[in-house]
Structure 1
């Protein structure tokens, strides 16, 4: 019986050691994810800063050329075909982060849709940026004039290019899961006067 007890004790100690190892690994993983997340946040902020610079450049180019950038109508349409506000999976504003458990700011809304679903320009304007970014994946930014712009991220592919004029409802890309994304969706942002606003306040 004594030998059996010692064997059980040794087995239990081995299980505890293994569990402690798993916990340490999980803690290390969480720390690594946290660093990656914060790096992504910094990169996204850099893009937001760049949007203001690109808008200023567009205004300067238009002034130099004597042209007027394609103006927006001031009224936005829902950007993802076949979906509605009921397809929003993550809202604008502070939320409890699913991994870290703390409050993090979400700069737009996530619209869930099948991969390849059409993404449309929410309003007419000029494409400021249409490129790939580690965090946003394939994304498009459209300037609508008067300091207003929209951003569409995580596209599977992009259908427009920087400098192009687009009309409201025009196809600009397709839903995907590129960049830092857990599944197919369109991350959609609206800026007014350079400041982020809740997209749902327009719908």
Structure 2
């Protein structure tokens, strides 16, 4: 059954999330194993991992040693559940409630969703030509890395989560019922030993065929 979560632009974004404690509690590992969500061969630098990101459980990464715009791809097979890519303004320094961000959420057969945020204006609907309800494969082009919304520099905000089945996200693309990051999962990536770590660089590639 397809769900259409394309969200009206007039709805106010959720209130800012509280900062996590200095030491983030451990998260459950993701049920799925995902590819790094950049085009094959892209060097990716992690500048906030799941333990250092505030709120915790998310990952901020950026393309490196190449030429922008960097291409963002699906981390696994799934269905597009929500798209927002009408915005074009960088709003660093504002409260989250005042920012307008671009994003795409993809649902996977294991019950987890992945989120790809701060993408360039129009790159999802016009560049990748994706619509809510579309099926994508791991490695499918989703859009371009950007700096739209609450962002200090061009990067991708990525997360794996298990949303509420009835009310998964709000108009700003934020997970609902996610106090203390309880819906977040520690993303497991193929071709990476352990979790990705802040300030380390990795190379994106397809997962080996099992």
TM-score (norm 2): 0.52
Number of aligned residue pairs: 127
Greater RCO (Cα-Cα under 8 Å, separation 6 or more):
2
2:117 touches 2:156 (CA, 8 Å); kept in 1? yes
Whole-Å separation in 2 of the counterparts to 1:123 and 1:136: 26
2:73 equivalent in structure 1: 120
From the two aligned structures, give the one with the greater helix fraction.
1
Q: CA RMSD in A?
A: 2.8
Instruction: Say which of 134, 148, 153 aligns to 1:178.
Output: 148
For residue 139 of structure 2, the aligned residue among 158, 169, 174 is 169
1:88 corresponding residue in structure 2 = 46
* Structure 2: unaligned runs, 5 residues or longer: 1-13, 19-30, 88-97, 165-182, 193-210
Deviations 1:106-153 (A, max 9, x none): 341111126421100000110000114864721000000231110000
Q: Which runs of 5+ in 1 are unaligned?
A: 1-37, 43-72, 96-103
Alignment of 1:39 onto 2:11 = no
Which residue in the other structure is 1:69 paired with?
Answer: none
Equivalent pair of 1:80/1:186 in contact (CA under 8 Å): no
Alignment match, 1:151? 115
Q: Describe the shift of the 1:190–1:177 C-alpha distance in structure 2 as closer, same or farther (beyond 3 A).
A: same
Q: Which runs of 4+ in 1 moved over 4 A?
A: 132-136
The 3 A distance-change label for structure 1 pair 94 and 112 is closer
